Amino acid sequence: MGYVEPHLDERCAACVVRDQALCASLADDELSALSAIGRSRPLARGQTLIWAGDSSSVCANIVTGVLKMATATADGREQIVGLLFPGDFVGQPFVEEASLTFAALTDASLCVYPREGFVEVLADYPALERLLLQRTMAALDDARARMLTLGRRSAGEKVAGFLLELGNRLPRRPGAPAAAGYVFDLPLGRAQIADVLGLTIETVSRQLTLLRASGVIALSGRRTVAIHEPTRLKRLAGAAGA
């Protein structure tokens, strides 16, 4: 017998990001309407959900994993303009053609909705539309604040703030001892971190080495980070930790 997907309402009840996602504040009728058009979708690391320039056909909530939002520069290079974490909303429901690429930085699982059906549900439930607008405006405010502070921070503050954000948003690495503090796997390589922070890869590597040498963090393997002194990291992040 082939795989039979569980009823969506059952998945909603067991969803690990139910309290973080757009669904968190929905009434039962709103949640039922959204569940009726949703489906689970795995996304492998490196796989793209939406390409910039293609039809904007789906929206989604991230259940697990990390996605990037990216655009192309004038010379064709990719520019990462944001990261999306569990509980975040993905997509551009009110445009016909996507202006951003959304791709998985790690293996991920999503709750996906067809864009047209999602827009119809929003039209039927104005409270849901207001919730989406509020989350969108909050994300925009965060992006503006990040752009402003990135322009003012030193390289050390940028890297410290980035690690602090990841430590707060990513789940702890399975099997990590509680005494280790925040332990997670970086979803990006150092070149991508440099791209996000507007630094060179050499500068990112140097700052990570300094943080490790000072005992604030520990690095193991290719991407595993343990934040041993989060309060000190917050101070080093400057405006990021305010």
**CATH match for 8-138 among 3.40.50.300, 2.60.120.10, 3.40.50.920, 3.30.40.230:** 2.60.120.10
Model pLDDT, residue 4: 37
Q: Give me the mean pLDDT over the 191-216 stretch.
A: 94
User: What mean pLDDT value characterizes the chain?
Assistant: 84
Q: Can you give the pLDDT at residue 177?
A: 52
CA distances from 127 to 29, 122, 131 (A): 11, 8, 6
Q: How far is CA 183 from CA 89, 139, 217, 229, in A?
A: 25, 25, 9, 12
Sorted by sequence, the CB contacts under 8 Å of residue 40 that are 6+ apart come out as 5, 11, 63, 109, 110, 111, 112
Tell me the mean pLDDT in the region 55-68.
93
Residue 44 pLDDT class (50, 70, 90 cuts)? very high
Provide mean pLDDT across the span 108-131. Answer: 90
Residue 173 has pLDDT above 70, yes or no: no
Under the banding of pLDDT at 50, 70 and 90, the label for residue 217 is very high
* Beta carbons within 8 Å of 135's beta carbon, 6+ residues apart: 22, 89
CATH code of the domain occupying 153-241: 1.10.10.10
- The full set of domain ranges for the chain reads 8-138, 153-241
Residue 205 has pLDDT above 60, yes or no: yes
Looking at residue 240, its pLDDT comes to 40
Write the pLDDT tens digit of every residue in 92-112.
998 999 999 999 999 999 999
Q: What pLDDT, on the 0 to 100 scale, is given for residue 132?
A: 84
**What are 138-171's pLDDT values in tens digits?**
877 777 776 766 677 899 999 999 999 898 888 7
- Inform me whether the pLDDT recorded for 136 exceeds 50: yes
The dihedral sign for the CA sequence 205, 206, 208, 212: positive
Q: Which residue has the tokens 């293609």?
A: 54
180 has pLDDT over 70 = no
Q: Mean of the pLDDT values across residues 64-71?
A: 92
Q: Which range is least confidently modeled, 21-30, 69-78, 223-232?
A: 21-30
pLDDT band at 9 (very low <50, low <70, confident <90, very high): low
Which among 236, 80, 242, 69 has a CA at the least distance from the CA of 158? 236
Strands 101-104, 67-72: pairing kind: antiparallel
